[in-house]
């Protein structure tokens, strides 16, 4: 480069420096100074030329190009900051994605646990309902069993009472026969027998035993036992006209039928008998 010197700056970039003019401005055709000719030599020569130029111009070298602010190379960190911000953003995004994936996994696990809990609750509800149904069936069975047992006990008790009353009826019959034989006798023994008879009847009545009405009643095969028949026109046909032995009922059922005589209507005259007699 002709007529210029190169100055090394701290930034490492070379800037051209105008060649120092001589002290006599009028020396236009003279030879250049030795320093100028040696500008391309040792590094120290450029500094001398720059100093000579500053002295000639009365100040700093007017030919030095001013370096605009921010127009040179970037300072330390000016190019690394965007890269660092991008890396931090990518790291934050990756961390957010990991957190989102973790949250999704936790939500899925929570949904699975909730579904399992609902299934367990439904199974428990069904089990409880089945248990309740079983308890209700057992309660119904027990109620029916208790009712059957009460009915059985009542039936057994009634059968036992009926057997006892049936065994006592002959005693009552004998007492009645004794009273019938005594007639109107007021002997103390007769009165005692009458008292015992009344007590027997009262005990039987409290147990549900009562005599069957037979005298003058229509014959009932369920309550009367016909041991004799008598043809008579004084009583309607089929009427009980005499009782040989009393019958008794136990709680509405026949304990012992009454032995009776039944009236039978006499046979009427043979057909045509009256006509034949009147004609003779």
Domains of the chain: 31-64 (no CATH), 174-264 (2.30.22.10)
* Per-residue pLDDT tens digits for 98-121: 999 999 999 999 999 999 999 999
Instruction: Identify the top-confidence range among 133-137, 185-189, 232-236.
Output: 133-137
**How do residues 57-79 score in pLDDT, each as one tens digit?**
444 444 444 444 444 444 444 45
List pLDDT tens digits, range 171-225.
999 998 998 888 877 888 888 999 999 998 999 999 889 999 899 899 999 999 9
Q: Which residues fall within 8 angstroms of residue 49, CB to CB, at 6 or more apart?
A: 5, 17, 19, 20, 35, 36, 39
Task: Report d(CA 212, CA 243) in Å as an integer.
Answer: 11
Residue 245 has pLDDT above 80, yes or no: yes
Instruction: Say whether 250 sits in a helix, a strand or coil.
Output: strand
């Amino acid at each position: 480069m002709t007529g210029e010197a190169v100055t090394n700056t701290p930034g490492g970039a070379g800037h051209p420096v105008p060649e120092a003019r001589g002290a006599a401005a009028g020396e236009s055709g003279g030879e250049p100074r030795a320093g100028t000719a040696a500008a391309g030599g040792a590094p120290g020569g450029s500094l001398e030329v720059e100093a000579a130029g500053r002295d000639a111009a009365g100040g700093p070298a007017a030919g030095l190009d001013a370096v605009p602010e921010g127009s040179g190379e970037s300072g330390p960190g000016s190019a690394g900051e965007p890269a660092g911000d991008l890396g931090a953003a990518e790291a934050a995004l990756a961390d957010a994605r990991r957190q989102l994936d973790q949250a999704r996994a936790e939500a899925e696990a929570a949904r699975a646990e909730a579904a399992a809990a609902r299934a367990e609750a439904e199974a428990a509800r069904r089990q409880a309902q089945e248990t309740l149904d079983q308890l209700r069936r057992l309660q119904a069975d027990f109620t029916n069993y208790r009712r059957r047992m009460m009915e059985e006990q009542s039936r057994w008790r009634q059968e036992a009472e009926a057997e006892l009353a049936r065994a006592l009826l002959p005693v009552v019959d004998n007492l009645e026969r004794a009273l019938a034989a005594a007639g109107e006798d007021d002997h103390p023994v007769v009165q005692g027998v009458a008292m015992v008879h009344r007590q027997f009847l009262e005990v039987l009545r409290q147990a549900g035993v009562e005599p069957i009405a037979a005298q003058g009643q229509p014959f009932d095969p369920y309550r009367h036992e016909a041991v004799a028949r008598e043809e008579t026109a004084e009583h309607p046909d089929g009427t009980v006209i005499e009782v040989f032995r009393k019958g008794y009922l136990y709680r509405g059922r026949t304990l012992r039928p009454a032995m009776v005589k039944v009236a039978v209507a006499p046979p009427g005259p043979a057909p045509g008998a009256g006509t034949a007699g009147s004609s003779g």
